[in-house]
Structure 1
Amino acid sequence: MTNRETTAVHGPSILALAQNILELTQDMTKYFQANNLLAPTFALDSQDPPDTAEYRGLHATLKTSLEDLQRLIDGPRKWLRTFCCTGYDLGALQLALDFEFFQLVPAHGNITLEDLAEKAGLDVDRTGRIIRQLMTYRFFEELRPRVISHSSTSLVMQQDEELRSVVHYSLDEMLKATADSNICLKAHPYEAHQNQNPFVTRHGVGIFEFYKNDPDKARRFAKAMAGLRRMDRHLDYLLKDGFDWSAIKGTVVDCGGGNGHISKSLAQLYPNLNFVVQDSNADMLAEGRDSLTDELRGRMTYLQHSFFEPQPTKDAAAFLIRQCTHNWADNDVVTIFRSFVPGLEGSNPSTPLLINDIIIPEPGTWPRHQERLVRQVDMVMLVNCGAKQRTKAEFEALLKKADSRYEIRNVYDNGPLGLLEVDLRRS
C-alpha cells in the first residue's frame, strides 16, 4: 500500500496534522489582525470570538485537526477512559450550579475556600474537591492557596443568567433523563413518542407536562431557550438568505412561532411582508404581542392555533414551520404536514411550505465535529420527546404520507439549520 493510500484509509499522520494546525492558526491570527480584533485569551476581559461565516469556516477546519491530533496522541484506550468519565465532571458542574458557586465568588475579587463553603452551605472538603475539579476545565482559579477567584469562563457563567440556565437545565433535567435511556429503550424497543421516551422514564411525565407542573424549572427552561436563541443566531442565515423573501408579497404564516421572534426579524428585513404568528400557547402569543414596536404593530398579528388542527389562514404568501417537527414522532409530523393542506389549497399554487429545521447530512459529508453537533441534537430529541431530527429523504417520505401532492422544490442544507421549500402540486 502506498503512502497516499495509507493516508486515505487511516487519515493524516501526527506530523501532517500538526503542520496543518500551525497553518490554520496562522490564518486565524491573520483574520484577527485584518479585522482589528483581539485574539481570544484566558484573561477575564477576553471577548468571545466573532460569529462570522469566515471565522466559522476557519474554526471548523482547525477544530477537526485539533480533535484528530488529540485522538492520535492519546490512543483509543486513554481517550475512552477520559470520555466515559465525563459524567463525573458534569456532576461537579451541576453541584457548582446547585450550590451557587458562580454567584458566590465575587465578580472581580476573591473568596476563601472556607467562606465559599459556609455561604454555599456545604462542607469545606467537598467544596474544595468540586471546585478544584472544575479548575482543570478552567472554571475558577486558585492563584493563592485556598483563595478562589473567577476565570473568564466562570465569570461569563456568573454574568449571563440565560447561559447559566442552559447549562443548569441540561444537567438537572436532561442528563438525568439521558442516563435512563437504556431502561426506556429496553422496555419499549420499537416505539417512541411524546409520552414514551427516556424523559418520561426518568421524570414520570412528558416534558411539556413536567414544566407545567414545576413553575420554577419552567422559568429556568424559558431562560435557557432564550439563551440558546441568542447563542444560535447564526442558525437563521439559511432562512433569511437562502429563501428569496423579496420575491413574495403578502402574508407569511409562522406556525408554532411562539412569541414571534423570527417573524419580527424577518418583518424588519422585508417591509413588503405581513406576518401572522400562530401558536397554541396563549402566554407566548401575549408576550409577543405586548413587545411589538409601533413600526411592526400594523404588520404582525397573533392567532392561537395548534398546528395539529387544519390551517385556518388562506391567501398566504408562505407558511413557515421552524424547529417544531423535531419535537414530534413520525406519525405526529404526518398530522402536522397534513394540517397545512387546507391553507395551501386556499392560497396561490406558488405558495410554499417552508420547513426550517436540521437536515441530517449523509455520514462523512460534513466535518466530523459539525456532524456531531446535529446528531447530538438528534439524541436530545430522542431523550426528551421520543422524536428525531431527519434527513431529506425522511422528510420527503413523511410529506408524501401526509399528501401525495407534496413536492420538495428546493433544499438548503449547507448550514447547521436547513430549509426545505415545499410545494403542494395542483392537478
Structure 2
Amino acid sequence: MKSLANAPTASATTLGPLPTSFGAAFFDAVVIGGGPAGATAALELAKAGYRTALIERGGRIKPCGGAIPPRLIQDFAIPRHLLKAEISSARMIAPSGRIVDMPIDNGFVGMVDRDEFDEFLRDRAAKAGAVRITGQFEALEDGHGGTRTIRLKAPSEINSPTGSHFAERIEARLVIGADGARSAVARQALPRQKPVPSVFAYHEIVASEGSSAEPAQGRAARCDVFYQGAISPDFYGWVFPHGETTSIGTGTAKKGYGLRKAVTDLRAASGYADAQTIRREGAPIPLKPLKRWDDGRNVVLAGDAAGVVAPASGEGIYYAMESARIVAEASIAFLATGKAEALKSARAKFMVDHGRIFMILGMLQSVWYRSDWLRERFVAICRDRDVQRLTWESYMHKRLSRASPAAHARILWQNIGHYLGWRPA
C-alpha cells in the first residue's frame, strides 16, 4: 500500500492502529459522501493501494427513480440480484392524457432501490480496503505540510478492520467532495462558484401491491412519465416500478411549488392513492456541471456535488459513478506526482465524453418543458420510431447514436414543425 511520509505502512485489509498526525486520523484520500459517486471514488482509490476513508452521514436516501442503463451494469460490475425490475418500455403521458408507448428494442433499463444499491457500493469499497467513517462533515481546514484537515461533528465513528475508533478530525493529502447538490465541501473549497440550475425532487416509495392500479404484472416492466403542468410546471412526474415497491415522484425549479400535493395527485391518477407509503424523500438535483471541480490544490468534486445530473431526464446514477471513476483516475495521478494540475483534468475528460449529450438534453428541456402546449407536442414527437430508437440507444449505451443522416434530418424537421405549431400534435 502507498503510504504517507512519516506514516506507518499498513495493508489494505489489515490496517492496524490508525496512524495519527497532530491528533488527527491520517489518510491519503478522504471521500466525503457515501452515495454512488463517493463509494465509486473510494473503491477505485482503495484498489489502487491508497489509504482511503469514506465519510457517510448514515440513514439518508436520496429521492431517485432508480433507473440504471446496461452500460452502468457492465462498466461497474453491478450484480443482477440488485435489479428490482427490468424495464422494457416507457409510457409518455401528455397534458391531454394522450399516451405514447416507447418500447425498448434489444435492451432494458434496470431499476434499483437506492437504499440497497448504495449500501452495496459502500460495502464493496470497504472490502477493497476503504475505511468507513459514520459522521457528518463540518469544516475543511488547512493541515500541516500542505494537507487538509476535515473537521467532523462529534462523535464520528471510524469502522476499521481493527475495530471502532472515534475522531473529530481527519487529515488527508486529498479530499473528494461527493456530498450532494448543495455540497458543503464545494461551498468551502470553491466559494466563488456560481450556483447551477437545479430542480427540487420529491418522491414517495409505496407498496406495489394493494393499489387500485392496473394489475402489477402490467406495470412491472414499464416506466410511466407524466409531462403535465399540473404535475410539474417545468420538469416531469414519474411512476417507476421497483418490484415490490414503486417510486412516485416529481420535481420543479419553482420555489414554493406544492410537490407533496403534486405527488398525491399523481398517486391518485395512477391508482396508488391507497397504497401503503413506505418512505418519503426529497432533495435538490443539479442540472448542469459546475464550471470548475477542483480548488487548484487538493480538493476535487464528483457526482451531484460537481453538478453531473443529465438535464431533461434527471438521470444521475450513471453520471455520478462515471464522474467518480474519472475523478479517481485524476486523484491517483495527483497522489503519485503531487501535481494539482492532475485534478483539473477530471472535468475536462468528463465533458469531452459527455458534454455534448448534456448540451442537447439541456436544450430539449429549455424548449419543450415550458408549457403544456409544448409538452403536448413533445409527447407527439415520441411516437416516431426513429426518435424511440435513437433515444433508447443513446440512453443504454451513453453515446449519441449514429443513425442515418436522413433520420436525423427528419427528426429535426419534426421538431421544428411541432415547435412552430404547423404539425398536428
TM-score (norm 1): 0.26
More strand by percentage: 2
Q: Which has the higher contact order (CA 8 A, sep 6+)?
A: 2
TM-score (norm 2): 0.26
More helix by percentage: 1
